[in-house]
């Protein structure tokens, strides 16, 4: 379960950076810090949009390919599933492959 979580974190960050690089968003700014902030904001929006599409597709019974495509654009076709718990050790155990 750790790999899907890692992919679904890193892919939106990389996508945000690529979107900023390709569109020129933030590149007129003189500050590298400001550029990084813009890239992180775009990455956050990217994640939110595709996560919302993924959830809406699930709840509204849209075609399975819509949910799958949104998941792929987040780096992993299915969101990680964890059993509800407040125990940190149990959460770590669940995140290991084969758990």
Helix axes 32-59, 64-73, angle to 10 degrees: 160
4-47 pLDDT, tens digit each: 777 778 888 888 777 777 776 655 555 776 777 778 888 888 88
Q: Is the pTM of this model over 0.85?
A: no
Q: Could you give the residue ranges of the DSSP H alpha helices within the chain?
A: 2-23, 32-59, 64-73, 88-95
* Sequence ranges of the domains in the chain: 2-95
> Computed from CA positions of residues 97, 84, 5, 51, in that sequence, does the dihedral angle turn out positive or negative?
positive
């Amino acid at each position: 379960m750790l790999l899907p979580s890692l992919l679904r974190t890193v892919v939106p960050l990389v996508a945000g950076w690529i979107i900023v690089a390709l569109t020129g968003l933030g590149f007129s700014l003189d500050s590298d810090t400001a550029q990084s902030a813009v890239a992180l904001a775009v990455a956050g929006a990217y994640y939110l949009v595709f996560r919302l599409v993924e959830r809406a597709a699930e709840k509204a019974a849209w075609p399975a390919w819509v949910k799958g495509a949104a998941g792929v654009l987040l780096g992993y076709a299915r969101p990680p599933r964890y059993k509800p718990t407040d125990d940190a050790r149990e959460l770590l155990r669940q995140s290991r492959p084969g758990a």
